[in-house]
Amino acid sequence: MSADLSQSFRIDPADLPGEAVIFGSTTAMREIRSKIDCVLSSDLPVLIQGESGTGKEVVARFLHTRSNRCDAPFVKLNCAAIPASLLESELFGCEKGSYTGANGDRPGLVEIADAGTLFLDEIGEMSWELQGKLLGLLQNGSYTRIGGHEERMGRVRVICATNIDLQEAVETGAFREDLFYRIDVVSLRLSALRDRKTDIPQLCEYFLQKMSHEFRRSIPQLNPVTLHLLKQWDWPGNLRELENWISRAIILGDDEALGAELKRQVETNNALASRQHRLGSLNEASRQATSTATSALILKALQANHWNRRKTAEELNMSYRSLLYRLRDVGLPQRWRGHRGRPSAH
């Protein structure tokens, strides 16, 4: 890779929020900080999970800048942003003529990130086939470009992020189990902002400084009533939503008007929450009814197939793994051990 290209993937730690801002003061986030310390000098893959806007990319960048790979590139690939057909060549590169339009050899991001960190965002969106090729890289450290024969060594540390429940995706057959265990060596689950509301004042201060600098305005003070309201909102969009709120406050220069808007939001939300609470029992009843119907259907299919779970899964047009998951979910026994037509509880 040319020196220029590699330079463009360097992270300046000054562009990241300070450590105290990133991790704040709650026990859960402090534990994540300690876990990061344990893996800084290793090459272990890291899986960062958390709702959208909780700072997964910020944490991945932080980890890279503190690791012994900090002088090498940090390369990000958003698996959801690129069509599946192009993702493989983006990641592993291609050789001339490997497909229409490939008119020259091209390195992939694994090569560009050499000796550094490869950040695979939204990993849950990666196709099954490509998951297999990524598994090969993680297992053997090697890969080939599309259309190439030469085996290349990939010397990258892989950090993955996702806002879906990967464990559940494994259970429903949407994500490879073998890859899951490879990438989930060190697991960091970031808190939602509603679970770290004590950090809101410090985060506001940081965003006020950052945005004022960006918009070339003087740094405003938030009035205490507004600050109190900010702590009442649950921030479904997490830190990104708070950051946007502060940007609007700075641009409009009127945190009181925005505070009033927030107050309405909080009140509407509270009204909604109590309505949802009332609806809760109805939802629970319909969930129960679905579960009863599902277990009856599965039980019938199991009996018809003499408790052969693979055949049953085929007949029900579901993966074997999903069937086991469903059995557990609806409380049916996992296997048949009885002699007189009754399944055992084990």
Ligand X SMILES: Nc1ncnc2c1ncn2[C@@H]1O[C@H](COP(=O)(O)OP(=O)(O)OP(=O)(O)O)[C@@H](O)[C@H]1O
CB of 338 to Mg ion, least distance (A): 50
**Nearest to ligand X of 129, 214 (CB atom):** 214
- Residue 172 binds what, of ligand X, Mg ion, none (CB under 5 to 8 Å, by partner type)? none
Q: How would you write 117-184 as a 3-class SS string? A: EEEEECHHHCCHHHHHHHHHHHHHCEECCECCCCCEECCCEEEEEECCCHHHHHHCCCCCHHHHHHHC
Phi, psi of 162 (to 5 degrees): -160, 150
Take residue 175 and report the two structure tokens written for it. Answer: 């994500």
Going residue by residue from 114 to 153, which x/- string records binding to Mg ion, judged by CB under 5 A? Answer: ----------------------------------------
Using the minimum distance from each CB to Mg ion, give the nearer residue, 119 or 206: 119
Our finding on whether 50 is near ligand X (CB under 6 A) is yes
Minimum distance between the CB of residue 59 and ligand X, rounded to whole angstroms? 7
Question: Considering CB distances under 5 to 8 angstroms, the limit depending on partner class, which of ligand X, Mg ion, none binds residue 259?
Answer: none
Alpha-carbon gap, residue 3 to 16, rounded angstroms: 23
Question: Residue 27: CB partners within 8 Å, gap ≥ 6?
Answer: none
- If binding is defined by CB under 5 A, does position 51 make contact with Mg ion? no
**What string of DSSP letters covers 39-101?**
HTTS---EEEE-STTSSHHHHHHHHHHHSTTTTS-EEEEETTTS-HHHHHHHHHEE-TTSSTT
Among residue numbers 139 through 168, which ones bind ligand X (CB under 6 A)?
163
Whose CB is nearest to ligand X?
55
**Nearest approach, Cβ of residue 339 and ligand X (Å):** 52
By CB under 6 A, tell whether 126 contacts ligand X.
Answer: no
Dist. CA 222–CA 109, nearest whole Å: 43
Q: What CA–CA distance (Å, rounded) separates 200 from 227?
A: 8
Q: What's the rounded Cα separation, in Å, for the pair 32 and 35?
A: 5
Residue whose CB is less far from Mg ion, 48 or 249: 48
* Residue 209 or 274 having the CB closest to ligand X: 209
What is the contact mask toward ligand X in residues 207 to 226, using x (rule: CB under 6 A)? --------------------
Residue 276 backbone phi and psi in degrees, to 5? -65, -35
Closest CA to 75 of 170, 163, 5, 164: 5
Of the candidate residues 57, 195, 241, 329, the single one contacting Mg ion (CB under 5 A):
57
Using CB under 6 A as the binding rule, whether residue 204 contacts ligand X is answered as no
Give which of Mg ion, ligand X, none residue 21 binds (C-beta under 5 to 8 Å, depending on kind).
ligand X
Based on CB atoms, which residue is closest to Mg ion, 162 or 226?
162
The Cα 332–Cα 206 span in angstroms is 52
Contacts with ligand X, residue ranges (CB under 6 A)? 17, 21-22, 50, 52-58, 163, 206, 239-240, 243
